[in-house]
Amino acid sequence: MPRVIEVSTDGALVASAFERLYEALRRLAPRDGLSLTAASTLRRLQLRGPHRLSALHVAEGVTQPAMTQLVTRLERDGLATRGPDPADGRAVVVTITEAGRTLVEQRRDRYAAALAGVLHGLAPAEHAVILAALPALERLAETIAE
Amino acid sequence: MPRVIEVSTDGALVASAFERLYEALRRLAPRDGLSLTAASTLRRLQLRGPHRLSALHVAEGVTQPAMTQLVTRLERDGLATRGPDPADGRAVVVTITEAGRTLVEQRRDRYAAALAGVLHGLAPAEHAVILAALPALERLAETIAE
DNA sequence: GTACTTGTATAAGCCAGTGATATAAATCGG
DNA sequence: CCGATTTATATCACTGGCTTATACAAGTAC
C-alpha cells in the first residue's frame, strides 16, 4: 500500500476538499445561459484581447468545430465578432464586443457578491486562512494551465 | 462607489482567484464521459446511499426530467439501478452499482494523482498554506451547499 | 369515491460537444 | 511558378444533457 506516501496523501486530501469545493462553486456560478466554455472563452477574450479561432479551441480544450459553433452563437448573441486576419486569409480573428465585456463584468460582480456573502458566514480565522492561501491557489491554477 | 468596502473587496479578490482555480480544476477533471451532474450524482449515491429520484433532482439542482434521463443513462451504462420504494408505489429508488463505485473511486484516484503532481511543483510554503486552508475551504463548500 | 397532490415518465426543442469531411488559403519542393 | 501538401475554418450527422409542457399512476383528503 505505501507508495510515495506523503505526496499521495496530500493529493488525496486536497482532491477530496477540491471535489467538494468545485461542486459548491458550480452551484454558485451565475445561471445566465452561458456554458462553462462560453464563459471561459469570453473571459479570455476580455483579458487577453482578440484571438484566432484556432488559438481559442486549443486554449479552451475543445475541438475546432465546437469552437466554430460557439463563436457562431456568441456572434449571434452579440457578444463577440468574427473578423479577417490581415496576415492570413484563412484565419478568423474573434473579438469580444462591448456587450460581451459588460456581460463578463456582470457575471464577475454577481459571483463576487455571492462569494462575499458566503465568506461572511465563516469565522474570521477561516476567512483569513482562505485569503492567505489565495496566492498559492492562483499559482496552483497557473501551474495546471501550463 | 464605496459600498461595504471590506467585504466586497474580499469577495472580488476571492472571486478572481476562484474563477481561475475553477477553470484549472475543470481542465484537471478526468475525461471519462461523465458529465458534471452525472459525476456529482454518482458521488452522492456512493457517499450517502440510495436516493429517491426526486431527492436527487433537488440535490443536484436540475429539473426532474433531467434526472429521470440521467438515471436512465446511468442505468443503461450499468452504473446505477432503479428500484421500487416499498413505502411508496410512485417513487423510484436509485442505487449505485459496484461498477459505479469502482468508477467513482477510479476518478478520485486519478484526480488525486493529478493534483499531487501539480502540488509537487509548488514551493513548500505554497503547498503548506493550501493544506492549512483546506478545512476552511471545506466549510466554505458546506456553507454554499446549505 | 371524487378531487387534489405528488412522483415519475414522455415529448419536443435547443445548446454543446464529438468525429468525419469539405474547402479555401498558405507553403513548399521541384 | 505550379502541383502537392499543410493549415484554418466550416459543415454535416450524431449523441448527450438540459429545458418546459404534459401525461399518468399512486397516494391523500374530504
Phi and psi, residue A61, nearest 5°? 70, 30
DSSP-derived 3-state class of residue B104: helix
pLDDT at residue B5, as a whole number: 47
Within 96-135 of A, beta carbons closer than 8 Å to B belong to: 108, 111-122, 125-127, 129-135
Q: Do A21 and B122 count as a contact with CB atoms less than 8 A apart?
A: no
Q: Do B16 and A108 count as a contact with CB atoms less than 8 A apart?
A: yes
Please list the alpha-helical segments (H only) found in chain B: 5-28, 36-48, 53-60, 64-76, 98-120, 124-144
Residues B4-21, mean pLDDT to the nearest whole number: 76
Contact A82, A52 (CB under 8 A): no
pLDDT at residue B32, as a whole number: 79
Nearest by CB to A15, from B13, B14, B115: name it.
Answer: B115
Question: Chain B residue closest to A114 (CA)?
Answer: B11
C-beta contacts of B1-8 below 8 A and 24+ residues apart? B7/A116, B7/A119, B7/A120, B8/A112, B8/A113, B8/A116
Nearest by CB to A140, from B24, B139, B140: name it.
Answer: B24
d(CA B29, CA B137): 19
How many C-beta neighbours within 10 Å does residue A68 have? Answer: 15
A37 touches strand D (CB under 7 A): no
Q: Closest nucleotide (CA of A69 to C1')?
A: C16
Nearest by CB to B12, from A112, A126, A139: name it.
Answer: A112
Within 47-86 of B, beta carbons closer than 8 Å to A belong to: 61
A134 CB neighbours in chain B (<8 A) are 13-14, 17
Contact B140, B133 (CB under 8 A): no
pLDDT at residue A45, as a whole number: 96
Q: Within chain A, which residues score under 50 in pLDDT?
A: 2-5
Q: Which nucleotides of D are covered by protein (CB under 7 A)?
A: 7-13, 16-22, 25-27
Contact A72, A11 (CB under 8 A): no
pLDDT at residue B14, as a whole number: 87
Residues B98-102, mean pLDDT to the nearest whole number: 95
B72 touches strand D (CB under 7 A): no
Q: Closest nucleotide (CA of B72 to C1')?
A: C9
**Do β-strands B51-52 and B88-96 pair in parallel, antiparallel, or remain unpaired?**
antiparallel
Q: What does the pLDDT look like over A101-140, one tens digit per residue?
A: 999 999 999 888 888 888 888 999 999 999 999 999 999 9
